[in-house]
Chains A and B, each alone.
Chain A
């Protein structure tokens, strides 16, 4: 058992922290937000140059063979800097489907573009009524010749505006809430029959609602078994949850740090407000919450590599519960301790709070995952 980073992991952390310190201060972020699709191509290029976009892919596929800990390091750093670029959608989720179930031909077609930064992906999964159930899929993929025809509507697709390729969950058989008959398809974003409505999200990212009307794709579009890919989807989404946990830890660290700095300098009644015990105790509780979250982020990272799918899912669900509770407390108290200034768009802290809040509602909120753990028989 060892919680210290290895030499390589330390270098990775220094390299991404250095890159973001140089190119991702709060003012730069505001500019990146105004670029097409809501993020910076230049920063994305730098991430590619440092090998970060190829991190989780095997060396045989043109990547660097990084594991869960490496992704955790990157996601924490991205959280700390409040990064807008689509690492989660492209590398973690898109890359995850390709790594776990892509054929050699699919990997050869998509991985190099991800690694060199020329192509990004988006995960079109959420539907109007599916909420957090991954098996709840109304979008259909009907067989036509060797290929498929996709019809349906997907919502809040992160990076949906910019992505070159969409990864779409669609039903090939059965009824809306059946756990079998679900496939995963690689769909070119410019395919005929796709219409997109793009918008900024509450946390400064960009997403799109996407309609598929008779979109035709070839036989090679399906990743994994088109009739039975729920386990694959669950695995990749679990990895996305783990990544979100790490991102939230980075966000909480920075929120706490910013808040403590603020209450050390803000003066009222002639003294720094951080000298008041009620504020000190609140900040201490934020620290406790952030540390408990960090512990569970590590646990989730470890669980990401569990062989047993049930054990893995249960552990990651537990982590998402802890992160959800911690982020709500840390985020809300960060605003409270900043007082009025925390309510302004101008101050950094509110943007951390907003991103944290959206993480809670991504891929299952606290109640959803708590119910999953409870129904799975607990965690002892």
Chain B
């Protein structure tokens, strides 16, 4: 498979997942700001922006509207759902000849609704649920129509890395929210795992239980460990391992982080959740870099700087 195509597949997986997760986070946070007026708007919005990696100067007034622009509607803000969906469509366009028609169309239609302003016009609540629906449609179309070749492995690898990254950010929002409201409940809701959590833990809602579920559960598809496991599988499928050790850097990184999470005592991990989550995000970033070096090298295009020296 061409490196360039592989790269596109990887990033389609990441962008679609990122759009979905951002919408999930925003949905729950806006609902929370609305329902529970004890949440100070500015701090909550600022924290969320910081966790999503958006830098905001101190003298800017941050309110819900500003946050929604940055994370949902403004297509020039790199973290917004609109920009991410545009990027997903852009990646899909570059791999269009390899994508199934169903998948291309579902991505393209989604992007069209953003461009024509339908996404914004729907308003937050139904807009975010629309993004979730579209992501499910795109993933479903991929699942139903793609052959399980290398391209598929890259798509899933991208999705899983992104999911681990996003779940870690979600856990960080809950850790920062402190004792106000029910941050873990809303975090679980954002993952769509609230009911699954309640069933697993027999209705006993504890912060510890929620952190354990989101980080370590081996059966919940949005938990960090589940996502990292899947990512490892994908890498393993891409490059069959030898008899000893692992040759692939990304695999080493992911495996080490996963093992670190799984084999340490939970109380140890929970002690500094934001710090741990930052480490996790660093792992996904490094893994992405090494996947890029190993598989996509050269597809970046060489930059010629004629006459500039």
A and B found bound together: no
- Contact residues of A with B, CB < 8 Å? none
- Contact residues of B with A, CB < 8 Å? none
